Amino acid sequence: MAKEPDIKWLNLTRLGLPVKVLFTGYLIVIGIGLIIAGLQILLTHGMADGKFGVSVKDIIYSYYGNREGSKLEKALNGPMKQYASPQERAILIEWVRKGAPDDMYEKMVKPIIQKNCAKCHGVIPSIPDLTKKEVLKEYAKVDTGASIQQLTRLSHIHLFGMAFIFMLLGFVFSFAIGINKIIKSILIFTPFAFQLIDIAGWWLTKYIPEFAYLVIIGGFGYFTASAIMILISLYQMWLMKPRDGNAWQED
């Protein structure tokens, strides 16, 4: 029986320059993408309670909702606060709390929306068109958080997209040398596991706000595991002295 060849170059320290450049480009782009994703969360979910920084309350407001107020109030006191004066925001909030009456809409609310909101909410297709009265009235209702339709759409996008990202990241990291194969396997699987925890947290928080902690744990978990794999892979490719060894057969 032929002996299996000992491929001593199959590790990150001895890959050819073109492959190192390919892997490095991917890792850098993914790393920047994770940082920007964190900033996006900070600027969206992180402002749900009107205060900068992501908290459990932000997660609850985003998925369970703020059952004490409307989505419009939450936006006016949070991420949209800068786009209207205090007097204008007071008028809009008063309109919401009075039950969104039509007469007040025509005389007082519509001009404010046209002046401050129409340049985005009446033009950009991906965000609600608040220049339409029926759409604005929906946002004046009690905030019950993300809808089932929104959760379904976001879940399938994240599951397919992140799984592909983590697969390629794990593939690159599988060439790392000098790491126990059990530890390496756990690190490779960790982002997948925490992504499932994150998305499960969305759905559970929609109905039981106490599960908001899962969203924070999930996001922190897959970000940390991904960062570790990216840094180790870059270190071994460009700073570590070349070593012989087959990274896929190490004990």
Burial (CB < 10 A; 0-12, 13-18, 19+), residue 222, is: buried
- Is residue 127 very low, low, confident or very high in pLDDT (cuts 50, 70, 90)? confident
pLDDT digits (tens, 9 = 90+) for 15-43: 999 999 999 999 999 999 999 998 888 87
pTM recorded for the entire structure: 0.76
Query: Which tokens in the block code for residue 200?
Result: 């499960």
Residues 95, 111: Cα–Cα separation, whole Å: 13
Phi-psi region of 99 (alpha: psi -120 to 50; beta: other; left: phi over 0): left
Query: Which tokens in the block code for residue 58?
Result: 């932000």
Phi and psi for 15 in degrees, rounded to 5? Answer: -65, 150
Query: Which tokens in the block code for residue 195?
Result: 């992504």
Residues 20, 14: Cα–Cα separation, whole Å: 9
